[in-house]
Amino acid sequence: MNDQDFALTRNAAGRIVFTGKEGDVHEGVVPVRAFPISAPQEGVSLLGEDGHELRWISRLSDLPEAMRALIETELAQREFMPEITRIRQVSSFATPSKWQISTDRGDTELLLKAEDHIRRLTNSTLLITDGYGVSFLIRDIGAMDHHSRKLLDRFL
């Protein structure tokens, strides 16, 4: 926790500024999770504007509170992988199919173009990429209600 030798701040333009040990300053730093699905809390990399890694943070919890909050706010604004909690309705069992879904980020609809766009990450976790490039996560099929599971089952 104390071996941290850099500082992160947010400037007026809303960009994150990284100041290194030698006083080198990088603007527009982008935090990226290395394992966004399997281990979101571990392995966050700070990338400079040119795409080079500035610092590897193996655990977010190792950072001081303020910097962690800054990174997490930034991540929250960039990461978009709604978790599907319920499938309300599907337009057809053959693709392309429009699904009316509830997610942890509100209700929306997704367009499933082909069954291949449902990717099985583990036995109970699915990643669904919709026609517009948004990835939806189903963390645990077992945790969904019966109706959703039944609909989903027709596509698996």
Which residues contact another protein (rule: CB under 8 A)?
12-14, 50-51, 76-80, 82, 91-94, 96-98, 103, 105-109, 111, 113, 115-116, 131-135, 153-154, 156
Min dist CB 119 to another protein, Å, is: 12
CB of 65 to another protein, least distance (A): 20
Of 7 and 32, which has the nearer Cβ to another protein? 32
End-to-end CA distance of the chain: 45
CB nearer another protein, residue 38 or residue 92: 92
In the β-sheet with 106-112, what is the strand arrangement from edge to edge?
A: 84-90, 97-103, 106-112
Residue in this structure with the two tokens 């699905």, named with its chain if needed: 37
Q: What value does the CA radius of gyration of the chain take, rounded to a whole number of Å?
A: 19
Distances (CA, A) of 140 to 59, 118, 122, 125: 25, 14, 9, 5
Nearer to another protein, 18 or 155 (CB): 155
Q: Which is nearer to another protein, 4 or 85 (CB)?
A: 85
Nearest approach, Cβ of 7 to another protein (angstroms)? Answer: 20
Task: Considering the complex, state which of residue 1 and residue 94 has its C-beta at the smaller distance from another protein.
Answer: 94
Burial 114-133 (b: 16+ CB within 10 A, else e): eeebbeeeeeeebbbbbeee
The Cα–Cα gap between 11 and 3 comes to 24
Residue 3: CB minimum distance to another protein, A: 27
